[in-house]
Every structure is written in C-alpha cells, then in structure tokens.
Amino acid sequence: MVTRKRFKAAAAVSALLLAVSACSQGSTTKEPEAGGSQSAGPANLKIAYQQWGPGVVMKNFLTGVKAEYEAANPGSKVELLPIVASENDYYTKLQLMMRSPNTAPDVVYEDTFLINSDITAGYLRPLDDYIKNWDQWSQFEDTAKGAAKALDGKTYGIPDGTDTRALWYNKQLFAKAGLPADWQPKTWDDVLSAARTIKEKVPGVVPLNVYSGKPMGEASAMQGFEMLLYGTKDSLYNHDQQKWVVGSQGFKDSLNFIKTIFTEGLAPTPKQALDPNMGSKVGTELLPGGKLAIALDGSWIYGNWQKTGAKPWPQWSEVLGQTAMPTQDGGGKGKVSLSGGWTWAIPAKSKNPDAAWNLIKTLQTQKNATKYATEGAQIAVRKDVASDETYKSSAKSTQFFTDLVSVTVYRPAFAEYPKVSNEIITAMEAVMTGQSSPEEAAKNYDEAVEGIVGKDKTTTDSGGQ
C-alpha cells in the first residue's frame, strides 16, 4: 500500500524528561471492551481544536461525533472548544490550556511536529493501556503509528490522517499565458520561468505563492522553505550523526529562491504574505477567484471547495491542475514532498481520561474516520479507510497526492524542532522583506541553531538524503 512509508522519521524523537513520567500514568479504571463508545461513567468532556479560518468541516464533524457520543453515554456532555487562531497562535494557546488541570481539555487536536516537545513538557498522557484492548488499532498503518510514539516506546496520540504537498496551478491562466495544461516542471528554474511568463502575459494576478514569514508559522517553514531545502542536496538534520545541519549551500539557495520571487514581484507583496489569514485567503479567495496562478500548497486545500467547505467551487477539478514540486536541478528523485499530520491526544492533566479515550474511539470508528478523511481532504492512515470506495472517489486529486508519499520527506520531529522552525521562519522573513541578504540570514540561522541545540550537536555535513 502506498501509505506504508508515512511517518518513517517520526519514530526518531526526542528523549523525554523525567517530568513526563511523573504525570503520564495510564488509567487505573478498567478499560471497556473494545469497539464502540461504552460508558466509562457520565462525564463532561472538552475537546479543543483549531478553527481553520471560515472552514466548518471540523466543526461539523465534531458536532456529529458529540451527538453520537452523548447518545451512547447518557448523562455525559461534550463541549467543543474551537481555538480561532493562526497556526502558531493555536499551538501556544493549546499549550497554555494544557498546563493546568483547571483549563486542560480532555481531548486535543495535536500536530505531529509538536507531540514530542509537548511530551517533554509533560503535557500529554500515554495511551498504551487503552490501545492494547482496542480492536481498531490494527487498522492503522504501522508507520502511521510512529507519528505519536516516543523513544520510551509509548504512544501519545491517535493519527487521523496525513498529507503531502505539491504545486497547484490554474489551467485557465496558464492557457492565457501560453503555458501547457499538463505542466510538469523539472527544476526550480522551470517554476520561476512559468511565474515570470504569468507576470508578463496575465497582469493583475499573483504568479506564485510560497508561504513565507512569521504570521504563517509552520506553513512557512514546512510547505514553504522545507519544500525547497529538501529539493537540494542538503537537509535540516543528519540522522546518521544525530546532529542539526548548519552552513549548508542548500539553505542559502532556498533563501535565494525566496528572495527571487519577492524581489521580482512573482509572489504576493510582503504585506499580503505577512497576513496571518493568508492560508485561508489562498483557499477561499485567490485560487477560486482566479487571482493566483501557482500555489505551493497541501493536499487538503481542496476541502475548501467541497459542498461542505468554506468556499464551494464545483469547477475546481477542471480549473486546477496538480504537479509535483521539482528538485532544484532535477536531480535525486526529481521531485519532493513533505508529510505531516494530526492526532487526537489526551492531556496529562485531563480530569476524565477514561471517558476521553472513549470519545477518541468514537472519533475513530471506521465510519467516522472515513467521513473526516473524505470531507477533510486527508490522506487516509487506516487500511479500511484507504480501501473505501467513497474515500477513493472523493476527489480527482486523491490518487495524485497519495502517490507523492513515495518521495515524501518528514521533519526531524525532535523537541528542538519547533525552535529551529521558528529560526527558519525568521530567516525567510528577513530575506522577503529585504532586511537581510540570504547569506546574512543563513549565518544568523546557523548561530541561532547552535544556541538552541549546542554547537556539539551541529554539523556542516548533511549526510545526503
């Protein structure tokens, strides 16, 4: 199955602090029999998740799960806690909530790249005592299970899907510019050439969007910068040496790409790009409105255009094409993608962990998992969902993005990564706004990473990919 290589790097995670074990004891209540939403006693549960701009797919999904759980558990109540915030602000607010028993939700929507730092901080509860009696766990791909597993071998979240990234392009705008409908760029120069042609031939539209700068947070680091970096001969982390890479030419080249698109006017203006709502605008305004020709973005974005999405757009599959992001010079595998994903986790300070587990089981029945993977535009991580005909036929782009799993790259999901990621974003913003040259920004990044992880944990050898 094409999903089998997902999350392969997520199993290599940061060492846990002793504080985790002090607050990560499993439930002492007898676990209900597997398969369903059997009551662990009436409880009032809170489930926290990010409200993605104007989108209501998650809200509608959770509203259905809430009704199902409350019907199966008389006397229980589920309160939905949407956190309306940009990506980085969501992470910050969620972590603040999980610090205290008075504010900790019972179930949280946790990005896989933050799980290991949150484990280290003592925010999450291991789920192994629950999973061992759950008959649905065998449906999850083995590699997907590693997304929320720490070096102690314990699992801290249940994955609900993964994703890949590529180039979306408007075939109608391409036709106006004399560009091919079946566009298949082989190098970065091919991408820049198409953007320059769009600028010349189709004025008034944004030729190319690559997320950059602090307001877009991890979207800038992952589906912006790292989609470039991992197309070079360099990487962020040398897994053989277990050290962070500094001083790489690929890092400078990636920043030079950012400099090029902003200085040549091939990207949105810095003011537009630094709008915290830029991600939402790409999916609900710029692409549907024919105002953006090429978008380096994720597999999930078409969820905006479904009947249940924030901007229904029945014509999207005819108007938009998808093509892989090429490597810098066409070398290596010739194309690159990055994968991430989200999980449902239980905070260490939840007052109702047993009931929270039953809620997660309700979230992850085959029926509900299929519903969310289909409506939420996710790449399935469950075998029974991946083989479901409704899921497989849900969008014309599903197979394309699933096939990219064979070339995908994963972030080094160590506890230090969020801080390193922030330095990547800082370097990008300095370059896109003209405050620093790519060389200066790269030098500042190197110094910051040495300060974060220690100079002895850095190397100038990327070690290949």
Residue 53 — pLDDT band, cuts 50, 70, 90? low
- H or E element, residue 394: none
Domain ranges, residue 373:
44-163+340-410
The CA distances from residue 148 to 127, 289, 307, 413, in Å, are: 10, 38, 32, 10
- In the prediction, which pLDDT does 24 show? 32
Return d(Cα 233, Cα 251) in angstroms, integer: 10
Contact of 365 with 344, CB cutoff 8 Å: no
Enter the tokens of residue 46: 């809170």
| CB atoms closer than 10 angstroms to residue 52 | 22
- In the prediction, which pLDDT does 309 show? 86
Contact of 24 with 124, CB cutoff 8 Å: yes
> In terms of pLDDT, which residue wins out, 39 or 368?
368
In a domain, 464, yes or no: no
In a domain, 20, yes or no: no
* 244 and 99 part of one domain: no
Residue 26 DSSP label: P
Contact of 3 with 386, CB cutoff 8 Å: yes
In a domain, 10, yes or no: no
* 132 and 179 part of one domain: no
Residue 95 — pLDDT band, cuts 50, 70, 90? very high
- In the prediction, which pLDDT does 108 show? 98
Q: Please say which residue of 373, 395, 410 terminates a domain.
A: 410
Return d(Cα 382, Cα 374) in angstroms, integer: 13
* 174 and 198 part of one domain: yes
Enter the tokens of residue 450: 């040495």
Query: In the chain, how many domains are there?
Result: 2
Mean pLDDT of the chain: 88
In a domain, 280, yes or no: yes
Question: Measured on CA atoms in the order 346, 301, 89, 254, is the torsion positive or negative?
Answer: positive
| CB atoms closer than 10 angstroms to residue 334 | 14
Q: State CA 110 to chain mean position distance.
A: 10
- In the prediction, which pLDDT does 5 show? 34
* 318 and 445 part of one domain: yes
Residue 85 — pLDDT band, cuts 50, 70, 90? confident
| Radius of gyration for the chain, computed over Cα atoms and rounded to the nearest angstrom | 22
Q: Please say which residue of 391, 410, 429 terminates a domain.
A: 410
Residue partners of 413: CB distance under 8 A and separation at least 6:
9, 10, 12, 13, 112, 113, 115, 116
* 149 and 176 part of one domain: no
The 10s digit of each residue's pLDDT in 10-21 is 333 333 222 333
- In the prediction, which pLDDT does 18 show? 25
Average pLDDT over residues 157-176: 95
Strand order in the sheet with 44-51: 77-84, 44-51, 107-111, 341-345, 158-162
- In the prediction, which pLDDT does 151 show? 65
Residue 169 predicted with pLDDT over 50: yes
* 173 and 258 part of one domain: yes
Residue 341, strand partner residues: 162
48 phi and psi, to 5 degrees?
A: -105, 135
CATH code at position 275: 3.40.190.10
- In the prediction, which pLDDT does 1 show? 36
* 116 and 244 part of one domain: no
Residue 40 — pLDDT band, cuts 50, 70, 90? low
The 10s digit of each residue's pLDDT in 436-460 is 999 999 999 999 999 999 999 999 9
Enter the tokens of residue 449: 């990473």
In a domain, 8, yes or no: no
The 10s digit of each residue's pLDDT in 310-361 is 899 999 999 999 999 999 999 999 999 999 889 999 999 999 999 999 999 9
In a domain, 29, yes or no: no
In a domain, 16, yes or no: no
* 83 and 104 part of one domain: yes
In a domain, 360, yes or no: yes
Average pLDDT over residues 110-116: 85
Contact of 297 with 282, CB cutoff 8 Å: yes
| CB atoms closer than 10 angstroms to residue 22 | 10
Residue 209 predicted with pLDDT over 60: yes
Q: Please say which residue of 395, 410, 425 terminates a domain.
A: 410
Return d(Cα 78, Cα 363) in angstroms, integer: 12
* 334 and 189 part of one domain: yes
Instruction: Report the candidate in 83, 108, 81 with the shortest Cα–Cα distance to residue 359.
Output: 108
Average pLDDT over residues 32-55: 68
Average pLDDT over residues 65-82: 97
First and final C-alpha spacing in the chain = 23
The 10s digit of each residue's pLDDT in 233-249 is 999 999 899 999 999 99
Residue 51 predicted with pLDDT over 90: no
> In terms of pLDDT, which residue wins out, 267 or 117?
267
- In the prediction, which pLDDT does 226 show? 98
Q: Are strands 44-51 and 107-111 parallel, antiparallel or unpaired?
A: parallel
Amino acid identity of residue 147, one-letter, is A
Instruction: Report the candidate in 138, 269, 117, 263 with the shortest Cα–Cα distance to residue 206.
Output: 269
408 phi and psi, to 5 degrees?
A: -70, 160
* 134 and 181 part of one domain: no
* 86 and 119 part of one domain: yes
Average pLDDT over residues 295-311: 92
Average pLDDT over residues 288-309: 94
* 334 and 368 part of one domain: no
